[in-house]
Amino acid sequence: MEMISKSKSFGGEQRVYRHKSTVTGTDMDFAVFLPREALDGFVCPALFFLSGLTCTWENVTTKGLPQLHAAKHGMIFIAPDTSPRGEKVADNESYAIGKGAGFYINATQDPWASHYKMEDYIANELRTLVIDALPVDEDAIGITGHSMGGHGALTLAMKYPGKFHSVSAFAPIVNPAAVPWGQTVFELYLGEDQEPWKQHDACMLVLAKGWDGDILIDQGTADQFLEEQLTPWAFEAACRKAGVDLTLRMQGGYDHSYHFVSSFLADHMAWHADRLD
């Protein structure tokens, strides 16, 4: 992989890498913050942050201030892109379909199936790449994310429990099979048969697979997508039924923006640090 930028930050380094992904068949960029401990050669816990619709690695890296908290906890912070990109990659004029909207699943339908393999990319290829190339402790890897990325964090954690050891989310899409953003994309990427959709829906996955740990979710009460797309109460009910320990914090007056994410990122990173220690 090729380092395309490097900046000193909070005693550590904020880097951006580019690599050729055999999974997506494209070049993929991702950002990594390495705390001072990692630069000194110590193996560190790591946290993946999966971003939402329209984002790249850059949104959380520049708006979330993860470096401050990652430096405090000696934690590596990894921010992948949200989809494959490039001229040959299928797209759609809607911001919620195509580039910037990979949904962290493996598409099975044309024209999406040739490059939209974000589940394999995150859980297998990128995870292995950062373990091999950086001082990441493979037994201490957490995952979190915002909105579409919150859906990705919850579903990948439950699908790959040995690979991700703690999970939290910010305003996640918890029931994509039942809301417009998810239904539109699942129909295009996975097909009209709704049976396979169940494997990619956090509410259904928690009932089918559970989660051997606790889960933290923050959700703003003034979020413009709360009622139509996010519906955290559906996941709360499913966790209760599955016996999974969920803390859902409804944060008064917060919207869906990175002002919300950055307000609670410190809490999430401390929470992951506790569990990955």
| Residues marked as catalytic | 147, 223, 256
Pick the closer one to ligand LAXINWYW by CB: 147 or 219: 147
Query: 85 φ, ψ to 5°?
Result: -140, 165
User: Which residues have C-beta within 8 Å of that of residue 36, sequence separation ≥ 6?
Assistant: 11, 12, 71, 74
Which listed residue (44, 47, 55, 71) binds ligand LAXINWYW by CB under 6 A? Answer: 55
Minimum distance from residue 60 beta carbon to ligand LAXINWYW (Å):
8
**Polymer length of the chain:** 277
3-state secondary structure of 153: helix
Which listed residue (258, 260, 264, 271) binds ligand LAXINWYW by CB under 6 A? Answer: 258
Which listed residue (21, 59, 67, 144) binds ligand LAXINWYW by CB under 6 A? Answer: 59
Instruction: Copy the structure tokens of residue 190.
Output: 């996975």
Instruction: Copy the structure tokens of residue 54.
Output: 């329209």
Which listed residue (148, 158, 238, 276) binds ligand LAXINWYW by CB under 6 A? Answer: 148
Instruction: Give which of 3, 26, 62 is closest to 258, Cα–Cα.
Output: 62
Contacting ligand LAXINWYW within 78-117 (CB under 6 A): 95
Cα–Cα distance for residue pair 36/74, rounded to 1 Å: 7
Q: What angle do CA 162, 166, 169 make, to 5 degrees?
A: 125
Instruction: Please give the DSSP secondary-structure letter assigned to residue 2.
Output: E
Residue 257 CA to chain centroid, in angstroms?
A: 16
Pick the closer one to ligand LAXINWYW by CB: 181 or 197: 181
Site string for ligand LAXINWYW, 192-231 (x = CB under 6 A): ----------------------------------------
Does 152 participate in binding ligand LAXINWYW (rule CB under 6 A)?
no
Does 124 participate in binding ligand LAXINWYW (rule CB under 6 A)?
no
Cα–Cα distance for residue pair 190/193, rounded to 1 Å: 8
Does 257 participate in binding ligand LAXINWYW (rule CB under 6 A)?
yes
Q: Which residues contact ligand LAXINWYW (rule: CB under 6 A)?
A: 52-55, 59, 63, 95, 146-148, 256-258
